[in-house]
Amino acid sequence: MVQRYNKGARSERELLAFFHSKDFSVMRSAGSGVNSISPDIITFRNKKGFAFECKAWNGTSVSIPIDKFESLKAWEQNTGMDTFIAWRINGEGWFFIRLDELSKAQSNYTITRKRAFDINRKIEDLFNYNTNSENR
């Protein structure tokens, strides 16, 4: 468990550093990876913000519990910030998945690696991302 947390925290810091290098104001949530109240990372620049729930996982899919998904949806609706699952896959980099691109399963929301590759939204694509409604 500690190794997985360290890997996730390291990946979150990597994402923070990247956005900071692109002149974004960045913040990592206290209790990131522990609570379901807020996303792991939020970034802002020129009145535009993104929120990220970060996953560093090399499996064939990534999932989040239903209560976390609902919390992230509420965050997105309340703040107007585009909210993504940021999935870091070793050797492939980051993939950014909108919440409405996840599939509901019995006890969680999930996306397969294949689906993330098909969507293929990479970090560079976020710089051309307009607003919540314009990209759906």
* Domains, the chain: 2-128 (3.40.1350.10)
Instruction: Return all residues near 77 (Cβ < 8 A) that are at least 6 apart.
Output: none
Q: What is the pLDDT of residue 37?
A: 77
User: DSSP class of residue 31?
Assistant: T
Summarised one tens digit per residue, pLDDT across range 43-94 is 999 888 999 999 998 999 999 999 999 999 999 999 999 999 999 999 999 9
CA angle (66 as vertex; 136, 61 as ends), nearest 5: 70
pTM of the predicted structure, to 2 decimals: 0.86
What is the token pair recorded at 65?
Answer: 């519990």
Instruction: Considering only residues 8 and 126, tell me which one the structure prediction assigns the higher pLDDT.
Output: 126
For residue 29, what are the CA distances in angstroms to 12, 79, 106? Answer: 10, 15, 28
